[in-house]
């Protein structure tokens, strides 16, 4: 009996160890994973060694990340005697490139080897994800600080892996931006696209043009839904806003560089310039005074994608003073940001004021162009020459293709992938960031529950994105990014709610080989990261647990279809004005024909007998409105 008991315990311990080893929940999924037997135990008194000076900062960062939650006093030291060893290769491993790494975990030690700092940093991020979730604690806590034995070889699919943060609609402090950088760097993003100017605020100090921040960085205080707010009144105080000084920007840029994140600054021109025109109205066609917009309805949008501005927000392309202004702006921007690109916007430029302006008409005649839209090509050509004189390259939204751009310009495809396909066929480098997959400001779940905006995008849809369209040479696709516009995002906590988990899905799209992508596998890892964020107190959305409800009409009857993003959820519903629970009618996966009458459909999801999703309640009128959507 004793022998049988010992054998049983041995098998139990083996299976527990095997189960621990199988719980590898890395996002984004590495290129190669080989799980081994055993585990490494982190202990107080161990050290983190590094072989070259350029690895010191990663070693020190790792020591701090481990010491806070464990309460240990691990130290970084040069040499090769550490229990955790960071190694910059003497000879480059061509397979892993600049940002790749090899992580080896054995019961005796951990080694991360890479060709450069970037690879070591990403190897560190993967290692931290192998520790138990308590590693995300902001204070010392108790846990089994072990890492499963494993070998990982990893490197990115794309060189451009970005997130855009809009700080014009709502200002985020430099410390909030640094915190956001920390969170995206965990998932191997290497670009923060910083949307610094728009109609709603100018956020970067330009010392040669002080009114840009004295006036353009501040607006009247307003609450309520963005786009439905009251117009500013003449003489009304403008307390809401903020901007970054040169010193702030230098600090953030350095902080980002230490995390292998390059910051791409955006100065949005010639449209989206109301904050600049509030400071310098003489740069517009009408030269009329405007206010920094607090979120009023200043435009009319039509069903075919065209629109009309009710207030001028566009720089005058025929005025030489505009280019003198831009030269001053880009001189200071170029000095502050080491990124080889400067983003110049170029999107949603309303040309109605140009069409009515005598100076623009004279310029069109001089250039022998018939269409006012072609003035944008002229404007962008002038801007590109300004940037080139400062050693920078131009990148803009896909509207910069209108009117022609130089072959050296890089295009961000946001209106679907069409602009990216066109740009690639013309030989332009392209960053894919289409609304259909990558817009993080869109609702991510049931529209009657989520904070309202004009479109929605579920995590599963983001995960399905393929950045290289059929028929396009992959060499022109630099990569992609997710875009977080902040009209409806006033706080950093809500920014995280909108960013995650969709940014995790996109991280895997941009980093991992497309052959390893699998939604159900990703979803399990995503849920493990929910738990990590619970401990780190970083907000995220749980909309993936909510039922998806679609409607159609067949033979005059209202038909309801229901499903979930996450496999294994049970959907319960009622149509008798009672609250649904696990004892209500369970959805069998078949279309439901809704009976006639003033009926409210109530739906909730469960897993393993426990509620997990939000309660959704839809009246018949609500259901009819979404037919075919």
Domain holding 61, by residue range, is 21-154
What integer pLDDT is reported at residue 499 of this predicted model? Answer: 98
Say whether both 404 and 490 belong to one domain. Answer: yes
Q: With a cut of 90, say whether residue 150 has pLDDT above it.
A: yes
Integer Cα distance of 122 and 197 in angstroms: 31
Cis geometry, peptide bond prior to residue 66 (ω within 30 degrees of 0): no
Alpha-carbon gap, residue 420 to 215, rounded angstroms: 36
Kindly report the pTM of this predicted structure.
0.94
Q: Does 142 share its domain with 165?
A: no
Whichever domain contains 40, its CATH number is: 3.30.379.10
For residues 63-86, give the mean pLDDT.
97
Query: Per-residue pLDDT averaged across 574-592, rounded?
Result: 97
Domain shared by 175 and 263, yes or no: yes
**What's the CA gap between 503 and 208, in Å, rounded?**
37
Check residue 14 and give its pLDDT. Answer: 36
Evaluate if residue 18 carries a pLDDT over 60: no
Q: Are residues 245 and 365 in the same domain?
A: yes
Give kind and range of the element (H or E) at residue 361.
helix 358-367
Average pLDDT, rounded, for the chain: 94
List 99, 332, 348, 399, catalytic entry? 348
Same domain for 171 and 150, yes or no, is: no
Q: Examine the domain organization and report whether 110 and 168 are in the same domain.
A: no
Tell me, yes or no, whether 508 lies in a domain.
yes
CATH number at residue 251: 3.20.20.80
Kindly tell me if the per-residue pLDDT of 403 is higher than 90. no
Return the structure tokens found at 425: 């066929």
- Tell whether 197 and 285 lie within a shared domain: yes
What tens digit of pLDDT does each residue of 98-139 get? 999 999 999 999 999 999 999 999 999 999 999 999 999 999
CA–CA separation, 466 and 90 (whole Å): 36
The C-alpha atoms of residue 195 and residue 167 are separated, in whole angstroms, by 6
CA distance 169 to 435: 18
341, 363, 339, 338: which is closest to 351 by C-alpha? 363
**Same structural domain for residues 72 and 146?**
yes
Do residues 355 and 221 both lie within one domain?
yes
In a domain, 10, yes or no: no
- Which tokens in the block code for residue 3? 């022998």
Indicate whether 2 belongs to any domain. Answer: no
Question: Does the pLDDT at position 617 exceed 90?
Answer: yes
In a domain, 14, yes or no: no
Q: Which CATH number does the domain housing residue 598 bear?
A: 2.60.40
- Asked if residue 185 is part of any domain, the answer here is yes
The answer as to whether 8 is a domain residue is no
Segment 276-324, tens digit of pLDDT: 999 999 999 999 999 999 999 999 998 787 899 999 999 999 999 999 9
Question: Is residue 17 pLDDT above 60, yes or no?
Answer: no
Considering 513, 539, 565, which residue would you say is the last residue of a domain?
A: 539
- The reply to whether 335 and 359 lie within a common domain is yes
- Residue that terminates a domain, selected from 539, 555, 584: 539
Whole-angstrom Cα distance, residue 419 to residue 414?
8
The answer, yes or no, to whether residue 402 has pLDDT greater than 90, is no
Give the distance from CA 234 to its chain's centroid. 37
Q: Domain ends where: 109, 125, 154?
A: 154
Q: What is the pLDDT of residue 628?
A: 77
**Active site (annotated) includes residue 348:** yes
Confirm whether 9 is domain-assigned.
no
The b/e string for 45-62 (b: 16+ C-beta within 10 A; e otherwise) is ebbbbbbeeebebbbebb
Q: How many structural domains comprise the chain? A: 3
**pLDDT of res. 298:** 93
Residues 503 and 569 occupy one common structural domain: no
Other CB atoms within 10 Å distance of the CB of residue 613: 23
Residues 106 and 191 both lie in one domain: no
Is the pLDDT assigned to residue 629 strictly greater than 90?
Answer: no
Please compute the mean of the pLDDT values over residues 10-39 and round it to a whole number: 70
Strand partners, 41: 146
pLDDT top residue among 555 and 254: 254
């Amino acid at each position: 009996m004793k022998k049988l008991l010992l054998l049983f315990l041995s098998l139990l311990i083996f299976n527990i160890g095997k189960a621990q080893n199988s719980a590898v929940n890395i996002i984004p999924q590495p290129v190669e994973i080989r799980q081994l037997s055993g585990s490494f135990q982190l202990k107080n008194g161990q050290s983190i060694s590094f072989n070259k000076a350029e690895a010191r900062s990663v070693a020190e960062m790792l020591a701090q990340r481990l010491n806070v939650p464990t309460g240990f006093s691990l130290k970084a030291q040069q040499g090769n005697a550490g229990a955790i060893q960071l190694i910059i290769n003497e000879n480059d491993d061509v397979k892993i490139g600049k940002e790749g790494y090899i992580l080896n975990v054995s019961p005796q030690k951990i080694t991360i080897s890479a060709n450069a700092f970037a690879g070591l940093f990403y190897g560190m991020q993967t290692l931290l994800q192998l520790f138990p979730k308590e590693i995300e604690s902001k204070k010392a806590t108790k846990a089994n600080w072990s890492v499963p034995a494993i070998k990982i070889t990893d490197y990115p699919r794309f060189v451009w892996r970005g997130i855009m943060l809009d700080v014009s609609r709502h200002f985020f402090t430099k410390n909030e931006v640094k915190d956001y950088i920390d969170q995206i760097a965990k998932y191997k993003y290497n670009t923060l696209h910083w949307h610094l100017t728009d109609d709603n605020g100018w956020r970067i100090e330009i010392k040669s043009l002080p009114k840009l921040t004295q006036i353009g960085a501040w607006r009247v205080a307003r609450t309520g839904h963005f786009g439905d707010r009251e117009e500013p009144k003449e003489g009304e105080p403008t307390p809401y806003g903020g901007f970054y000084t040169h010193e702030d920007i230098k600090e953030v840029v350095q902080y980002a560089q230490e995390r292998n994140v390059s910051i791409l600054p955006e100065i949005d021109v010639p449209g989206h310039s109301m904050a600049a025109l509030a400071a310098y109205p003489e740069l517009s066609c009408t030269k009329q005074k405007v206010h920094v917009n607090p979120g009023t309805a200043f435009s009319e949008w039509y069903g075919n994608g065209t629109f009309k501005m009710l207030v001028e927000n566009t720089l005058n392309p025929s005025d030489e003073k505009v280019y003198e202004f831009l030269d001053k702006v880009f001189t200071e921007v170029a000095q502050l940001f080491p990124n080889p690109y400067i983003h110049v916007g170029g999107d949603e430029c309303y040309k109605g004021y140009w069409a009515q302006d005598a100076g623009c008409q004279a310029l069109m005649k001089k250039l022998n162009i018939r269409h006012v839209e072609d003035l944008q090509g002229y404007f962008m050509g002038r801007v590109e020459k300004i940037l080139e004189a400062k050693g920078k390259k131009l990148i803009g939204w896909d509207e910069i293709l209108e009117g022609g751009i130089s072959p050296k310009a890089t295009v961000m495809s946001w209106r679907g992938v069409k602009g990216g396909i066109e740009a690639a066929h013309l030989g332009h480098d392209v960053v894919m960031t289409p609304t259909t997959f990558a817009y993080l400001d869109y609702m991510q779940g049931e529209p009657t529950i989520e904070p309202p905006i004009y479109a929605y995008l579920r995590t599963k849809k983001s995960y399905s994105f393929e950045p290289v369209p059929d028929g396009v040479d992959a060499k022109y696709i630099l990569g992609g990014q997710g875009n977080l516009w902040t009209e409806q995002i006033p706080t950093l906590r809500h920014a995280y709610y909108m960013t995650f988990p969709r940014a995790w899905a996109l991280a895997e799209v941009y980093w991992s080989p497309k052959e390893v992508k699998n939604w159900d596998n990703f979803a399990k890892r995503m849920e493990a990261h929910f738990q990590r964020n619970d401990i780190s107190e970083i907000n995220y959305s749980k909309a993936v647990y909510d039922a998806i409800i679609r409607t159609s009409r067949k033979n005059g009857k209202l038909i309801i279809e229901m499903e979930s993003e996450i496999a294994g959820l049970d959907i319960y519903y009622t149509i008798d004005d009672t609250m649904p629970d696990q004892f209500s009618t369970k959805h069998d996966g078949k279309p439901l024909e809704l009976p006639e009458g003033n009926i409210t459909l109530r739906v909730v999801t469960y897993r393993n007998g426990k509620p997990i999703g939000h309660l959704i309640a839809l009246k018949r009128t609500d259901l009819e409105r979404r037919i075919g959507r």
